[in-house]
Amino acid sequence: MYSTVKMLHSYWAYFVLLILIVAVANAIIGFASGKKFVSKDLRISLFALIFTHLQLLIGLILYFASPFGMDMISNRGMGGMSSAERLLALEHPFVGILAIILITIGWSKHKKQETDKGAFGKIALFYGLGLLLVLSRLPWSQWLGL
């Protein structure tokens, strides 16, 4: 089960990154051009929200099903970790959760905007910050096979 969930989490991440990049780019273009926030824009933002939340659920399942996850923190403590172990056991999950919180805030705040420019702006800001956080804590060495 662990290897299946790990593979799902890794491959789903490509979809998450793709839809987040599309959502942020769409919001920036909409904000800069002053276009109307239509149902297509809503759907792009909503799919990005849904994909990131699904990735969080898969990641939590992986973390608690992993022989590595909670054992790393409970048995060795933070001081006994290498930087690669700390990235996977602590930084990646924590920063990922922060990113999803920002994306969720962006979704919530965009609905309260009275102007289309405001809606695009909230999506661009919060989804963009979430995307930057995700990119900052990806285990690039595992992804790229380094």
pLDDT digits (tens, 9 = 90+) for 21-63: 999 999 999 999 999 999 999 999 999 999 999 999 999 888 8
CA terminus-to-terminus distance, the chain? 25
Distance from C-alpha of 59 to C-alpha of 7, rounded to nearest angstrom: 11
Q: What is the DSSP letter of 79?
A: G
Distance from C-alpha of 61 to C-alpha of 76, rounded to nearest angstrom: 21
Rg of the chain taking only CA atoms, in angstroms: 17
Residue spans of the chain under pLDDT 70: 68-89, 141-146
Residue 29 sits in which domain range?
2-143
* Contact predicate 130/24, CB 8 Å: no
Cα dihedral sign, 109-112-113-116: positive
- pLDDT (0 to 100) of residue 85: 66
Split into its structural domains, the chain has a count of 1
- pLDDT (0 to 100) of residue 64: 82
Q: Taking the model in full, what pTM does it have?
A: 0.86
Q: What are phi and psi of 66, to 5 degrees?
A: -75, 140
